[in-house]
Chains A and B, each alone.
Chain A
């Protein structure tokens, strides 16, 4: 019996930074993957007890129920402003926002751009699934040209509805941004790359090096009307070419970080 115990080894378990609770996310949704990666990194860095999260409005509105650390809940698009207020009041806490594409790249574009321009020492996790998930799949600023949604039923017509916004590239133009990258959650290799980026972003903040943002290309099987597997394939074939995976801004001080 004693021998058996010695040979048992835990290789996979729920991170401490995630609560033991069912989520409301649809089956196959990559929010769960993103949550888990962030939680794993927080555990690995040992920063859970000084974390303050800022939830947004959208599918991730209940993120504060799923992460096991302190949280506040922002109005639609205002998470970076709220995070600014939290961080300026408690500068030694680690402050993150978790926002979707409608929240951050549409209604909250003013707040995110200025938080990045100020070099606000916060970390933003930006979930890009090319539509408004919570309200039932309407066109988002990230919806691809020609992509059908419930509010672009004939496909996004760029003559009428304009072009998608590449948020990582846009924010990378700002001198205040220190670490801005795009990753994807569509296969194991990319998921591992995403986790490393999440680690770099939080290391950037913990070291006081300024604004960090990780854009995560994500799927929305329910509103896309596809199986999760087909969604992964669609993301790879359609979203990745429009939203290339890459490092858009890595400040030299961040590039020196060795984990």
Chain B
């Protein structure tokens, strides 16, 4: 199939359409809005459902209703809008119905700004809504990967009756790159899933879907069922990209845009003869713990780089512990690091002993205060 030059947000929208998106509900917010605009044209022309909701609260609950009928459904938003959706996301998780969520992250907290950031990591990866639940979270680093992971997101959401999030940011959403789109999948009719509420009582027993288990032992069973399902996800769905890891003495860990910038830095360092590699988690949930644990035994140290104040850092530290030194370099608040900034960190770590006193975040903050 021919490659097309597409904006990230629009490519995600078209990929979802081709993956069989039946219904989309959203609300405008920068830097995600092109996704909604694109689907406001595309969905009606295909006779599919599109509603611009009155709020993100409205949008996520429309998604909840559609998800209960078993159709392929998606919403998209950006950081402040995702915060508003947390109520609905918890209910969707508690009801065990599949949906795809696209989060085009921007600077925060609060109203923040509309520049690219990665500061929704914790609210998407570690819950955000109330209760114990996990979402599968895919983190693309290019427009092509956004397309591929959006298609995968629908399959994973259905396979595990789970929320599957595509965690991208303002830079990937807004930039144009050539990409190859998937074939158009035919739209399915009424869901045949054995849990879907489809108003088909003539052909089966009554069904209902809810997240309420008033009897605590039943709620505990529901929680355990969901956690066992998450164990399956952790066992089967970990995805990551590795670059120059075979002989690496230093390993940079970064996801999405930060991982992509880090790759440029790693290549520049390699040109200088520094033995450094990159681990870029593609699934930030489930987190690629095993490969990280294997690397921990054989490398001099890690550099975690993110466009936030060190959120994935805690997940890396949970695996590496004090078995290897971990440094952190982040640019929070809507700033993308330049490759040179990460390169400088790599060079510093390559030249001398890697500091271990205090915490990685404290050492980073101390270096940042010298910069500013």
Contacts and interface: CB of A to CB of B under 8 A. Distances in A.
A49 B210 CA distance: 20
Given A73-B210, A111-B54, A82 B62 contact: yes
B54 A49 contact: no
Interface residues of A, number: 35
A88 B54 contact: no
A86 B22 CA distance: 12
Contacts of B46: none
Interface in B164-202: 190, 197-202
Contacts of A85: 23, 25, 61-69, 73
B54 to A, nearest CB: 4
Contacts, number: 135
Interface stretch (A62-70, A205-213, A233-241): A62-70
A46 to B, nearest CB: 11
Contact of A89 (B55, B57, B71, B208): B71
A49 B200 contact: yes
Interface in A42-95: 48-52, 54-55, 61, 64, 68-75, 78, 81-90, 93-94
A89 B199 CA distance: 11
A166 interface: no
B218 to A, nearest CB: 14
Contacts of A113: 54
A113 B23 CA distance: 22
A72 B212 contact: no
A110 interface: yes
Interface string B196-222: 011111100011111110000000000
Given A51-B199, A73-B208, 17 more contacts: A51-B201, A52-B198, A64-B208, A70-B198, A70-B206, A72-B64, A73-B95, A73-B209, A74-B64, A75-B88, A81-B65, A84-B51, A84-B58, A85-B23, A85-B66, A89-B71, A110-B55
B95 to A, nearest CB: 8
A118 interface: yes
Select the residue from B62, B68, B200 with max chain A CB neighbours within 10 A.
B62
B58 A111 contact: yes
Contacts of B199: 49-52, 69-70, 90, 93-94
B87 interface: yes
A209 B197 CA distance: 24
B324 interface: no
B54 A64 contact: no
Interface string A102-145: 00000000110110001000000000000000000000000000
A110 B69 CA distance: 23
Interface of B: 22-23, 25, 49, 51, 53-55, 57-59, 61-69, 71, 73, 87-88, 91, 95, 190, 197-202, 206-212
Given A61-B212, A70-B197, A70-B198, A78 B61 contact: yes
B73 A82 contact: no
Contacts of B54: 110-111, 113-114
A132 to B, nearest CB: 18
A90 B61 CA distance: 16
A72 B201 CA distance: 14
Interface in A193-211: none
Given A70-B201, A89-B69, A75 B49 contact: no
A89 B49 contact: yes
A102 to B, nearest CB: 16
Given A64-B210, A72-B208, A118 B51 contact: yes
A87 B197 CA distance: 12
Q: Mostly helix, strand, loop or mixed at chain B's interface?
A: mixed
A75 B87 contact: yes
Contacts of B69: 52, 85-86, 89-90
B201 A49 contact: yes
Interface of A: 48-52, 54-55, 61, 64, 68-75, 78, 81-90, 93-94, 110-111, 113-114, 118
A215 B202 CA distance: 30
A73 B64 CA distance: 10
A50 B203 CA distance: 10
Contacts of B53: 81, 114
A159 to B, nearest CB: 30
Nearest to A78: B61
Given A51-B199, A81-B65, A88 B210 contact: no
17 contacts: A49-B202, A69-B206, A70-B200, A70-B201, A70-B208, A72-B68, A73-B209, A74-B65, A78-B88, A82-B64, A84-B51, A85-B66, A85-B67, A93-B199, A94-B199, A113-B54, A114-B54
Contacts of A93: 198-199
A89 B66 contact: yes
Contacts of B209: 71-73
B65 A82 contact: yes
Nearest to B203: A49
A253 B347 CA distance: 75
Nearest to B87: A75
Contacts of A111: 54, 57-58, 61
Contacts of A89: 22-23, 49, 65-66, 69, 71, 73
Nearest to B58: A81
B96 to A, nearest CB: 13
B61 A81 contact: yes
A52 B207 CA distance: 9
A93 B209 CA distance: 16
